[in-house]
Each structure stands twice: as structure tokens, then as C-alpha cells.
Structure 1
């Protein structure tokens, strides 16, 4: 079923520009031919039902993804930023024997325990090259809506990566719901900088534009100056990124005031959007960043703010077909405006974790509710607010401290660029609040000043007892701040101070 959205868009407008990257500009007809090349190569090279893809955001990834699906196989996108041993563990867990990749990653891939299929060789050796009719096109394979369409591996920031199995119905329902929620149309132009191995990137910068029959421009890697230049040159109207990317754009010194004028939608997801980044973007460029919320396990989108439905500090209202429930400690509905665990139910909830039935049962209950592990609340108008993670909750002398609340206070200080808050064990209080911050370029402050700043805005037990000013915060491959290395760094210092 996934492969049909490409065929349908080609039939509607065969000559329309589909994908652009630094090396290729392909119409929908040409993209079909390129996908057909990859389909033929996949059928020839393996009978395994799963095929790994290790490619950057590009026309090659799009054609390979649809080509593998067209061959009746399940694509398994792999994070090319991982170390070879980490990639090998994922390939072994997924049980694949073929990796589709590019010569650019040849050295990185040479030690992996699978055969390699390089996209350059496929396209060079196939008669049905892009732009030429390669004979009759085979029909997409017959499948059921609940068949697995893709396996996406979680980042593994809290343990070993798990393969999230998303069905055709999961992806297509969420794709259509997002298009309707955001009022997207085929005339919009997308800029793809999100990695395709991430659920956010896969939906936002591949499935949605292709389903629309729109045009997507890919950058092989995120470079702030190139982003601004491409938005202006190509009149990009839809841009989606993680907060750290928006923060990097803010560090550009010479970006003109009209840098983002073509944008109709600037959506932020993947991690919490700091208030200082949101405010600075709107003040400098007049662009309101629209924060959304989702998880790999929910295909991924649960909710998104929109220009016509916006509430500061929230992650918007749910998209069509998705239900959210706020559950208290007993699993009962929390009162409106009260915090609890966010539960999600709908056609977007995953089939399960690959090969891990017990872990699947631990997060999806008998009524189909996915227990996210996130803490949040819903206001009287249906806007969802995410306030933290249950696993990140800090308990100081019996009082609950949510890291996001402390982080939000710290980034209001004019010298602070980013903040990460966590808890460390303490024999007297159970835990203490620890904060690590980075500073804006040229800014100066002290740990004592920042603690005083927090005391004016937070209850005493929420004020960081330990505070560190660092040159940078450690990040994972998708840009998320990694708190485990921060905990190790602080705990390894004398007296934790």
C-alpha cells in the first residue's frame, strides 16, 4: 500500500518535479523509474523479507524506500551516524542480509555482517534508468492494511535500540491526518533536512510530500546557511526541524530579516522546543514555530500547533483519529488541566516492537492505549501540554520536580542558550536537582547568578543544587540532548560538585 502513493501521484501529474537534491532533479515519472531500478535489484539480491537502508535524505533514499516496498519487502532505515558496532547490532536484531547504501558510506559499511548493494551501481547497470521507460511496470504487491510497512529503530538513549513495527495503516492514516490537520496542498514546497531513519523525517519529508504530489528539496546534511539560501531560492513553504536546528539557525549572524518569508509552516518536533528559541525566532524573523508532539511508536504524530489553532507552551491539538487520555497513578482519567501520564490510542499506534512481545505488552494495554511514559495535561480547549517524562521525574524530599519546568526557567536568563536538568542520588533528600547549561556567544554569567535567577521563579526545592556551565551539551544522532553522559560527568566530579 505504501508504494501506491507514489504511483498515484505520478498518474496525477507525471511531469511534476518530485524530488531535488544536490545531484538529482527528478519528476514523478523519473522517480518511478528510479524506484523500479531499486525494486529489480532488491528482488535479484535477496529473498529476505526485510532490507536495511543506510542513506542520507536524498532522491536515492526515496527511490530505495519505495523500491524495496514495491518489491514486497520491509524497509529498515538505519542511522548512518551510529558506530559500525551499533549498526551491526541493529542489522542482527532485524535479521537482514542486505544493506542498500552509497559509496560514500563504503568504509563505514565494510565491516557490517551483511551484503551491500550500492545505489550508484544499481542505477549505472540498469537499463531502465531514470527518464526512460523500462517496459511495463509491475503492480505493487498485495498486502493487508495491518501488514508491517517499515521497522524504525529507536535511538536507544535509555537502553538498547528497539525495532518499532509500523503498518501500512499506521503510516498512511497518520500521513493523511497530518495533511488534513495542517491544510497542506500539492503546490507547497518542502525542505528536507530531517534524517530519514527518524519517524519525524520519514513522515514529514517523504510520505507527506509524495502523497500530496508536492515537491521536496533535500539537503544531504543540515547546514544553517544552506537552509536559508534554499528557502529563499526555491520559495520553500514547509520546513520541519528539531529545536536544535532552529537554535543553530538563530546563531547565523548575517541572515536577513526576510530569510524565512516564503514559509507557510515552520514545524518543530522531536524534542521539547525551548521557550527562548521560540521567542527569538519570532522576534528576529516574524516566524512562529509550531511545536508538535509524537513518538516513533505513534507513526509518529499525535498533535501539532497550527497558525489557526495555537496555544503557547502547548504541542497543539490532536490530529484526526488520534485520542489522548491523561491517566493518574491509578490509571483513571485525570481531571481537565491536571497532570498525568499521556496515553494515546488510534490507527497510528504501532503493531509492536520487533521480536519483543513482552515489551510490547508492557506499553500497549488491552484496550489499545499506548502508555507513552510522558507526563502532560490537556486544557479545557483540547490543547496538549507535555511537562516531562516519568523516568526523568526528580523526587526531592518527597516533592516532584519536572526537569522541563526547571529548564524553561533557566533559558529565560539572557545569557543561557540551552539547559538540561536531571536528578542525582542524594543520601539526605533522595535526589537533588542538577542543571547543565550552555551560554550564548559572548555572554557571561556565574553558577551563583543562575541559581539566584531560579530562586526568583521556582520553589526552593526545584532550584538546582548543582549547576554546571559547559561549552556544549552531548547529543545523540537525532539531535536530542543525552542526559546520561551529563549525569556521569557531574557524578564523576568531587562531591558531585
Structure 2
């Protein structure tokens, strides 16, 4: 297996040649040979702009062909990629760009009503922080940007690619920062490729697959289990910038999409939308999902209504893919576990508390410029402390029961919200739920459930509580229920419970 991203690009061009590599819905199409040539062109432009090996290039843009070409071109030129979350404000993006030391920035033009570059410039002026010398705005400046490499020989770009080493830092992905300031997770080329190849191998990705990548490219799932997984397997990348059910369903039908990973909410939205049934989704063969709570009812429904095999997996930015179910696992295993160790990881449960610990060659190199946080996350024996609570069965399959920070204590008993949420998923009419603990003068903490109903369905607080009483011990039953039109999510689809807690505290 190749151990640098530039080598993998060249190998894919040789192995898959004229097969489709990248399809921009409504736009261009590239074969693997054409992709290699275009990536080399991007690398030449970056060299022409004066970016040196080991330098850092930030990308602040939604999924699209130019994002993928820029990212691969940066690797080919020996640069380190710094993806920036498209949900960030100008102030948040400036913090990432500044702390990473990025010498260049590729940024989208006005998108979804937001001019990100204007917001970034305003933040930079307020903070007195200089912006990178190179700024390219997409899509308007793309051709001008590429032309800057016209005087750079192809051989110079190839020499840069050949000089990249397996242990060079390939990317710095910043954590979501839901519990504090985001941290930059550093991964080497060999690590990013190894986890991508492991994911692709277990999922059975192949050159005739058409992979709709809705997971953001700036996230480890979209970048590594998306772009790089396709690079290692020859599957076609079909990027979608914004999840929109009718458009997603239309793309599945028009492009004959076979692989559709995503968070649980993606599938519930797709299956519940009244227009989804008007599209032919029969090409789907594989859905991969994962979270602290993947209700068994959802897995059963996905198998039945989408007709696709369903696998669950577990990972985090610091490890990307740690465990994964295997094709052929029975429905209960897929529904109730996140699979067994993958990508060279060892998994064990720490005591006390039951924290999931990981160790292996593909755990992060560390946090950028933060040795104290790195030492706190990776102990002296090399175990990565994930902050998740879980258990292993006799076959090594992992079940994530919750986050350490989400657990609360009611009347002296530990309550794991994920267990309550799994019960709520069985209540007809529930599309999504989130449970948090709130202070209580008598019991210490009690549960509150936030419920999003399925379209056309209604529920009441007494109905929800009564349903839980029939399935959960008394201390686990939520004491209050709040019905919502939607819940706050981060880019990977996880509910931002800290926002719910803050809102409840303010109230």
C-alpha cells in the first residue's frame, strides 16, 4: 500500500486510468488520469505562488470538485492541509487560520447568504491579525489561480510529490470545540491513508461504486472516509455541498449512487420526506452510520426502506476509524454495536468509569502546539483516551453507551442519556431525541428529553413519559419533555447538548 497521498494519486491514475474519479453534479467530470493531471496543475500553481514544502494551506469552502482538487494539489506540492469548518464565523475561522500558521487560503465566495471572506477580513481588522498572503476565492478566481503555475514545469511538481515522506504531516483537522477551544489534530500521510484504506476495505468499496459524499470534506469522515477512501479503492466521488432531501434523492437516482454514509439524521430525513418516494433509490447498496446513539429501530428501517446493507462504525477526529461492523454481521450486532477494532487499533475499556481507550499506529500524532493537551489525551502507554463510555462483548464488538460528560446522576444512580434515547427511538412518532441532566434540589439531577416528531405526527409530554416508564427504571425516566422542530447539530450530525444545557441554565 502506498504511504503518501501524492503516491496514491499517481497510483490511482495508473490503476484506474479512464474510470470516473470525480463527478461534480451539474458540472465537470474527471477520470483518474484527468484528476492526476488537474492535481498536478493545482500543485504547480501553489508552487508558483511561493508556498514551500511543509507550509500550510487552509480551505474554507463547502464540498465540491475544487475543494477536492485543492486538497489533493496541496498534498502533491508537499503542503499540509488545514480544513476550516464552513459553519464557523469569521472570528472562529480567523483563529484556526492564524493558529495553524497557514500561508495560503482558498475560500468560497458568498454561499448560503454569507460572505465568509468579508467576515474574515472584518475579524482580522478587529483583532489586528494579518491574513495569509495568498487568498483565492472560489469559483471566480480559480482559473486565474491555476494560471500562476504556467511557468512551473510539471517535473518540479512531481519532484515535490516524490519528496513527501510517510511521516510528514498531511493534515491538521480542528476538533469541533463543543467543550472548549478547538484543538488541531495532526495526522501523517501514512495514517490518513491507512485509516481510509481500512474503511474502504471493510465497506467493500470498488471501482464501480458511486459514493455520494455529503459529510463535510472539512471533517475527518468526509476527507478520509470519503475522498481518500475513494482514492484507495477507485470509487467515484460525487460531492454534495448542502444536504437537501429532494436534491439528494434526485442525485441518488440520476448518478446511480451506491454508497451513502452519513449521520443517523440524514437517513431519517431522507426516509421521512414526502418527496423521497418519487425517486428511484434502488442503486443504493451500502449505508454506513455511527454515533453514540444509533437506534436499532433506525437500522431495521434503513434495511427495509432503502434496501441497502447497513454498517455502523465508531471513530473520532483523533483516530478517524477505530471500530467498524463487517458485512455479514447479523442485524442485532449492526444495530447494537459499533463493530470491532479496525485500522490497526487495539480497543480496551478503562477503569474506573468505562472509558473507551484506543492504541495503534493510526492514532493522531498529537495536538498542534499543545503538548499538555496531547499528554492528557495519550497516556504514557500510548492509549488514547476518547472521552466515550463503552463496553466490549466476548467477540470484541464495541458498544458506545455515552459520553463521559453527558452522564448524570439521579438519586445516586448513573444515567446514560444514550440508553434513554435508544428507548425513545422505539416510540412511534419520534424522529430524533436528546436527553440531558438538569439540577434538581432533591435528586441531584433529573432528565429532560428534547423530542423532534416525525412529519405529520404529534406527541405530548405525558405520552413520552408514560412510554419511558414502561421500558426504563424510574430514575432513568425523564422528568420533563420539550418538543422541538429541530435540534442543534455539529457538522458530523451529533447533537450539541452543551447548547441545550446552556439554554436550560439560562431559563
* CA distance 1:253–1:372, shift in 2 (3 Å): same
State the secondary structure of the residue aligned to 2:328. Answer: coil
- Are the counterparts in 1 of residues 338 and 398 from structure 2 also a CA contact under 8 Å? yes
Offset, 1:295 = 0.5
What's the counterpart of residue 447 of structure 1?
A: 461
Q: Does 1:308 align with 2:354?
A: no
Offset, 1:243 = 1.2
Q: Deviations over 1:38-77 (max 9, x none)?
A: 2122223334711101122221111101111111110101
* CA distance 1:257–1:383, shift in 2 (3 Å): farther
- Give the whole-Å Cα distance in 2 for the aligned partners of 1:304 and 1:489: 35
What's the counterpart of residue 137 of structure 2?
A: 118
- Give the whole-Å Cα distance in 1 for the aligned partners of 2:55 and 2:278: 50
Q: What does 1:295-334 align with in structure 2 at a 5 Å threshold? A: 295-298=316-319, 300-310=320-330, 311=333, 312-329=335-352
What's the counterpart of residue 289 of structure 2?
A: 268
* Aligned partner of 2:6 among 3, 6, 9: 3
- Are the counterparts in 1 of residues 40 and 154 from structure 2 also a CA contact under 8 Å? no
- Give the whole-Å Cα distance in 2 for the aligned partners of 1:13 and 1:74: 26
- Are the counterparts in 2 of residues 376 and 385 from structure 1 also a CA contact under 8 Å? yes
* Aligned partner of 1:108 among 116, 127, 130: 116
Q: What does 1:40-189 align with in structure 2 at a 5 Å threshold? A: 40-45=44-49, 46-47=51-52, 49-104=55-110, 107-112=115-120, 113=124, 114-115=131-132, 116-120=135-139, 121-124=141-144, 126=146, 135-136=154-155, 138-139=158-159, 140-189=161-210
Q: Does 1:38 align with 2:3?
A: no
Cα RMSD of the aligned pairs, angstroms, is 2.3
* CA distance 1:283–1:135, shift in 2 (3 Å): closer
Offset, 1:219 = 1.8
TM-score calculated relative to the size of structure 1 = 0.91
What's the counterpart of residue 291 of structure 1?
A: 312
State the secondary structure of the residue aligned to 1:295. Answer: coil
Offset, 1:288 = 4.2
- Are the counterparts in 2 of residues 10 and 213 from structure 1 also a CA contact under 8 Å? no
- Give the whole-Å Cα distance in 1 for the aligned partners of 2:95 and 2:185: 15
Q: Does 1:18 align with 2:24?
A: no
- Give the whole-Å Cα distance in 1 for the aligned partners of 2:37 and 2:148: 7
Deviates more, 1:94-103 or 1:198-207: 94-103
* CA distance 1:175–1:197, shift in 2 (3 Å): same
Structure 1 residues without counterparts, runs of 5 or longer? 330-338
- Give the whole-Å Cα distance in 2 for the aligned partners of 1:444 and 1:56: 35
Q: Does 1:414 align with 2:417?
A: no
* CA distance 1:272–1:34, shift in 2 (3 Å): farther
* CA distance 1:206–1:488, shift in 2 (3 Å): same
Offset, 1:362 = 0.5
- Are the counterparts in 2 of residues 33 and 129 from structure 1 also a CA contact under 8 Å? no
What's the counterpart of residue 127 of structure 2?
A: none
- Are the counterparts in 1 of residues 200 and 230 from structure 2 also a CA contact under 8 Å? no
- Give the whole-Å Cα distance in 1 for the aligned partners of 2:505 and 2:299: 32
- Are the counterparts in 2 of residues 266 and 287 from structure 1 also a CA contact under 8 Å? yes
Structure 2 residues without counterparts, runs of 5 or longer? 125-130
What's the counterpart of residue 128 of structure 2?
A: none
Give the number of equivalent residue pairs: 481
* CA distance 1:215–1:200, shift in 2 (3 Å): same
Deviates more, 1:194-203 or 1:434-443: 434-443
Offset, 1:425 = 2.1
Q: Does 1:427 align with 2:441?
A: yes
What's the counterpart of residue 344 of structure 1?
A: 358
* CA distance 1:79–1:32, shift in 2 (3 Å): same
- Are the counterparts in 1 of residues 203 and 326 from structure 2 also a CA contact under 8 Å? yes
TM-score calculated relative to the size of structure 2 = 0.89
Offset, 1:16 = 2.0
State the secondary structure of the residue aligned to 2:196. Answer: helix
Deviates more, 1:353-362 or 1:224-233: 224-233
Q: Deviations over 1:79-113 (max 9, x none)?
A: 11211111111112212232112334593113424
- Give the whole-Å Cα distance in 1 for the aligned partners of 2:32 and 2:201: 22
- Are the counterparts in 2 of residues 353 and 360 from structure 1 also a CA contact under 8 Å? yes
- Give the whole-Å Cα distance in 2 for the aligned partners of 1:399 and 1:259: 48
* CA distance 1:65–1:379, shift in 2 (3 Å): same
State the secondary structure of the residue aligned to 1:117. Answer: strand
- Are the counterparts in 1 of residues 45 and 147 from structure 2 also a CA contact under 8 Å? no
Offset, 1:264 = 2.3
- Are the counterparts in 1 of residues 302 and 308 from structure 2 also a CA contact under 8 Å? yes
Q: Deviations over 1:269-301 (max 9, x none)?
A: 355323343233233333343211100000x01
- Give the whole-Å Cα distance in 1 for the aligned partners of 2:344 and 2:491: 31
